[in-house]
Homo-oligomer: A and B are copies of this chain.
Amino acid sequence: MDDPTPIRAGTAAWWLARTENADDRPRRRRMLSLELIADAALSLLDTEGAEALTMRRLAQRLECSQAALYRHVTSRDELVVVAMDRAVGLGLRPPPEGLGWRESVEWQSHSFRDFLLAHPGLVVFMRGTERLSPTSLSGLEHSIAQFVGIGLTVREAYATASAFATFVVGSVQFNLGVDTADPEEQRMRRRLYEGLDPDRHPILTAHAEELSRVGSRDEFEFGLAALLDAIEARITG
């Protein structure tokens, strides 16, 4: 009696069905619960990395059978979305009181980035499917309100809030493969730049040493400052 065309996890329809049915869902006491599974998934990601998130290892950690997991979750994809919803809840921290809008947005961006960097196992799974979760929507509402408060239209505020989220998550994601802060990686990078053909790469060869030390952090700071400047320009004139 399952739905013949299953709804893909993370779509609006999926989150809609989830929030609408929240109250009628059976709430018997059980050993296993969706929350317990999602939290176990997050701790698995933290301790053993992204590749370790398998149904087998999760079941092992929860001391149940693999099949038992499918009682609370229809697929691994769905589990991932639910786990990311929880992760967002853990990562979003309210900024300290009394900051101006710029410092506040800056603080929140850094805070969420630091959270992602501290939990690299999560990052691969952040694909935007957690954006409509209750947790994310609370953050979104708050973020839009902040931007409307300084003079943006609702629509602008929404796009702006989304762009910040996209940039913060995106910049961590696009730098996952390689650790640019690692001195050994920097040394190798320098040798790579130095060894290029100077005719075809005049700048990279000439500034090999300096450029080998520029990393994902610099990229992030530049982009963040740019986004903040753009808002400032828009509201002042």
Residues of A within 8 A of B (CB): 10-13, 15-16, 19-20, 126-129, 131-132, 137-138, 140-141, 144-145, 148, 154-160, 162-163, 165-167, 169-171, 173-178, 184-189, 191-192, 195-196, 200-204, 207, 210-211, 214, 216, 218-223, 225-227, 229-231, 233
Could you tell me the distance between the alpha carbons of A10 and B182 in the complex, rounded to whole angstroms? Answer: 14
Residue contact B222 to A176, C-beta cutoff 8 Å: no
9 contacts between A and B (CB under 8 A): A12-B186, A16-B188, A16-B191, A19-B192, A169-B174, A226-B231, A227-B227, A229-B229, A230-B230
Residue contact B223 to A185, C-beta cutoff 8 Å: no
Residue contact A155 to B226, C-beta cutoff 8 Å: no
Residue contact A204 to B16, C-beta cutoff 8 Å: no
- Nearest residue (CB) in B for A125 is B177
The minimal Cβ–Cβ distance linking A74 to chain B, given in whole angstroms, is 16
- Nearest residue (CB) in B for A185 is B12
Q: A163-B222, A177-B128, A223-B166 are in contact. Are A141 and B203 (CB under 8 A)?
A: yes
Residue contact B223 to A174, C-beta cutoff 8 Å: no
- Nearest residue (CB) in B for A210 is B155
Contact of A203 among B148, B171, B175, B207 (CB under 8 A): B148
Could you tell me the distance between the alpha carbons of A56 and B184 in the complex, rounded to whole angstroms? Answer: 35
The minimal Cβ–Cβ distance linking A77 to chain B, given in whole angstroms, is 9
Contact of A218 among B159, B170, B178, B202 (CB under 8 A): B159
List, in ascending order, chain B residues with CB within 8 A of A204's CB. Answer: 137, 140-141, 144
List, in ascending order, chain B residues with CB within 8 A of A189's CB. Answer: 12, 132
List, in ascending order, chain B residues with CB within 8 A of A233's CB. Answer: 229, 233
List, in ascending order, chain B residues with CB within 8 A of A207's CB. Answer: 154-155
Residue contact A214 to B162, C-beta cutoff 8 Å: yes
- Nearest residue (CB) in B for A17 is B188
Could you tell me the distance between the alpha carbons of A207 and B161 in the complex, rounded to whole angstroms? Answer: 15
Residue contact B229 to A195, C-beta cutoff 8 Å: no
Known pairs A126-B174, A129-B177, A159-B221; list 11 more (Cβ under 8 Å).
A12-B188, A12-B191, A13-B184, A15-B192, A16-B192, A141-B201, A154-B207, A154-B210, A155-B207, A163-B223, A230-B230
